[in-house]
Amino acid sequence: MRRSILLAAALTTTLGLSACAGGTEEPGDDTSSPAAAGDSLTIWVDETRQAAVEAAAASFEEETGTDVELVLKNFEDIRPDFLAQVPTGEGPDITVGAHDWLGELLSAGVVSPIELGDLAGDFEPVSVQAFTQDGQVYGLPYAVENIALIRNTALAPEAPATWADAVAAGQAAGAKYPILLQTGTEGDPYTSYPLQTSFGAPVFEQNEDGSYTPELALGGENGTAFATWLAEQGKAGVLSTDITYDIAVEAFKNGESPYIVGGPWMLEQFADLELAIDPIPAAGSQPAQPFVGVQGFYVSAQSENAVSATDFLVNFMATEEAQLALYEAGNRPPALTAAADTASSDPITDGFRTVGADAVPMPSIPEMGSVWAFWGVTEAQIISGAAEPAAAWEKMVADIQGAIG
């Protein structure tokens, strides 16, 4: 029996070797395959942007012969996956992303700078500024987004001057909800931020050039005033933690409210309504400034195809045509000024753009990450009456300070 074992082992090994003699050619082939030769680009996109990028990718493929592979990802997976995968050498060459990721991506060393050169002047200033850190630009902006007050003109013919006016007008119109502002059980500080700024409590101190310092500014008297106001609105039933994004959109769509605080991403749902876009009515004594978010493309620091990637972005995505295609897909005003001007022929887009002109960029400093985790929930707790406003707000500021360290 011993021999049979030996023989069998010898036999299988020979079989094995002969089988793989045919197989070893494969890795040999690999070196000349597209991936290694560097004439293919991988781009991460989310669903909204997919079609628009596809169009630009097609013309890029045609002109340069470089294959472009679009990988569809959930928008909220992109940041963690990009951070985790780029260091392994796997990630994409290019990814879509928001400007407020920049601080984190930089400290992880996963993005490379993009030299826009003279092209920088063709973009809306806020969009390039948002992707700039220490004088270097790290992303190619394609859209600027901010919220505004969307008004159903059939229910409210006039733009309200203040929050109280809006509530009064909504109640007078007999609507189920005087005004809709999404909150949810975890709060939505992004949507309620303009009201916070109207009380003079921005999240961070700003330098003279508009960049943020890690100095918290949302506390103090003004912050407490905002917190108290939230509690009052919650008690009066104007704000409620039950109003999630879905519910708010559905209610506005059904004509149950004349106003909704929201962004261009909602518009698709409101196709049947007559709309006007107004500045968000202030609740405090200062102007209500929403956040501006800039969407753009980042190039991976580990990209093996950096030339193609930069070429694609600078010469194919920074065109009016591509930016307009992205505008059609996402409804956000384009970042390229020429494209934005074209898009502004639509009064709705123009409305958002006008409100955006007075808005402030969302902070992209890494400290911002520690703010989100406490901010919304505290607001929700105050609105639902679960927490005493002044104390809860004060504790939140202390907790954020603790998390920032």
Partner 1 sequence: MSAPLSRGSTLVKGWSPGFLVKLVLMAIVDALGVFAILAAWGEESYGILAAMLALLVVANWAYFSKRALPLKYILPGLAFLLVFQVYVVAYTGYVAFTNYGDGHNSTKEHAVAALLAQNERRVEGSPASPLTVVAQGDALGFAIVSDDGDVLAGTAEQPLEEVDDAGVDGDRATDVPGYEVLDRASVLERQQEVTALRVPVSDDPNDGSLRTQDARTGYVFLPSLVYDEAADTLTDTVSGTVYTPDDNGLFEAEDGTTLPVGWRVVVGFENFLTAFGDDRYATPFLKILIWTFAFAVLSVGTTFLLGLFLAITFNDVRLRGRKIYRTLLILPYAIPGFLAALLWSGLLNKSFGFINQVLLGGAAIPWLTDPWLAKLAVLGVNLWLGFPYMFLICTGALQSLPGDVLEAAKIDGAGRWRTWRSITLPLLLVSTAPLLISSFAFNFNNFTLIYMLTNGGPRFTDASVPLGHTDILISMVYSISGIDGSAPKNYGLASALSIVIFLIVATISALAFRRTRSLEEIA
Partner 2 sequence: MTDVTTARRGRTTRAARPASAPRMSRAVWMRELGWRHLVGVVGVVYAGFPLVYVLSASLSDGGTLTGSNRLFADVSTANYEALGDTYFWTWMLNTLQVAIATSVGTVLMGAAAAYAFSRFRFRGRRAGLTSLLIIQMFPQMLAFVAIFLLLVGLGNVVPELGLNSKLGLICVYLGGALGVNTFLMYGFFNTVPKELDEAAKIDGATHSQIYWTIILRLVSPILAVVGLLSFISTFGEFIIARVLLQSESNWTLAVGLYGWVSSLLEANWGLFAAGAVLSAIPVLALFLFLQKYIVGGLTAGSVKG
Interface positions, 260-299, toward partner 2 (CB under 8 A):
265
What tokens appear for 281 in the block? 């009515």
Q: Which of 25, 39, 63, 77 binds partner 2 (CB under 8 A)?
A: 77
- 74 interacts with partner 1 by CB under 8 A: no
- What's the Cα-to-Cα distance from 45 to each of 100, 180, 289, 385, rounded to whole Å? 17, 31, 29, 40
- 17 interacts with partner 1 by CB under 8 A: yes
Continuous segment of H or E residues that includes residue 140: strand 139-146
User: What CA–CA distance (Å, rounded) separates 342 from 326?
Assistant: 13
For the bound state, the minimum distance from the C-beta of residue 66 to partner 1, rounded and expressed in Å, comes to 7
- 384 interacts with partner 1 by CB under 8 A: yes
Q: DSSP letter for 363, please.
A: P
- 19 interacts with partner 1 by CB under 8 A: yes
| Closest to 257 in 3D by CA, of 379, 155, 168, 163 | 155
- 74 interacts with partner 2 by CB under 8 A: yes
| Closest to 144 in 3D by CA, of 325, 337, 321, 322 | 337
- What is the x/- site pattern for partner 2, positions 29-68, by CB under 8 A? -x---------------xxx--------------------
For the bound state, the minimum distance from the C-beta of residue 386 to partner 2, rounded and expressed in Å, comes to 21
- What is the x/- site pattern for partner 1, positions 185-204, by CB under 8 A? xx------------------
For the bound state, the minimum distance from the C-beta of residue 239 to partner 1, rounded and expressed in Å, comes to 13
What tokens appear for 97 in the block? 């992303």
| Closest to 203 in 3D by CA, of 404, 1, 397 | 397
What tokens appear for 319 in the block? 């065109």
User: What CA–CA distance (Å, rounded) separates 380 from 87?
Assistant: 37
- What is the x/- site pattern for partner 1, positions 124-143, by CB under 8 A? ----------xxx-------
- 100 interacts with partner 2 by CB under 8 A: no
Single-letter residue type at 316: F
- 4 interacts with partner 2 by CB under 8 A: no
User: What CA–CA distance (Å, rounded) separates 385 from 268?
Assistant: 34
CB atoms within 10 A of CB 28: 8
- 337 interacts with partner 2 by CB under 8 A: no
Q: Which of 85, 286, 319, 370 binds partner 2 (CB under 8 A)?
A: 85
By rule CB under 8 A, what count of residues binds partner 1?
82
What tokens appear for 196 in the block? 């916070």
Q: Which of 69, 232, 304, 321 binds partner 1 (CB under 8 A)?
A: 304
Q: Which stretch binds partner 2 (CB under 8 A): 197-205, 247-255, 292-300, 378-386?
A: 247-255
Q: Which of 305, 323, 331, 349 binds partner 1 (CB under 8 A)?
A: 305
Q: Residue 75 binds which one of partner 2, partner 1, none, with CB within 5 to 8 A depending on kind?
A: partner 2
User: What CA–CA distance (Å, rounded) separates 400 from 388?
Assistant: 18
User: What CA–CA distance (Å, rounded) separates 111 from 369?
Assistant: 18
Q: Which of 29, 62, 76, 272 binds partner 1 (CB under 8 A)?
A: 76
If you write DSSP's letter for every residue of 285-349 in order, what string do you get?
SS---PEEEEEEEEEETT-TTHHHHHHHIIIIISSHHHHHHHHHHH-PPBSBHHHHHHHTTSHHH
- 232 interacts with partner 1 by CB under 8 A: no
- What's the Cα-to-Cα distance from 396 to each of 202, 211, 372, rounded to whole Å? 14, 23, 11
Beta-carbon contacts of 121 under 8 Å, excluding residues fewer than 6 positions away, are none
Q: Which stretch binds partner 2 (CB under 8 A): 131-139, 249-257, 321-329, 338-346?
A: 249-257
Q: Which of 1, 28, 76, 209 binds partner 2 (CB under 8 A)?
A: 76
Q: Which of 25, 63, 90, 215 binds partner 2 (CB under 8 A)?
A: 90
Q: Which of 42, 310, 331, 364 binds partner 1 (CB under 8 A)?
A: 310
For the bound state, the minimum distance from the C-beta of residue 174 to partner 1, rounded and expressed in Å, comes to 19
- 25 interacts with partner 2 by CB under 8 A: no
Q: Which of 244, 286, 342, 344 binds partner 2 (CB under 8 A)?
A: 244
Within 233-252, the residues that bind partner 1 by CB under 8 A are: 240-242, 244, 247
User: What CA–CA distance (Å, rounded) separates 365 from 217?
Assistant: 14
Give the interface with partner 2 as residue ranges (CB under 8 A): 30, 46-48, 69, 71-77, 81, 84-85, 88-90, 244-247, 249-251, 265
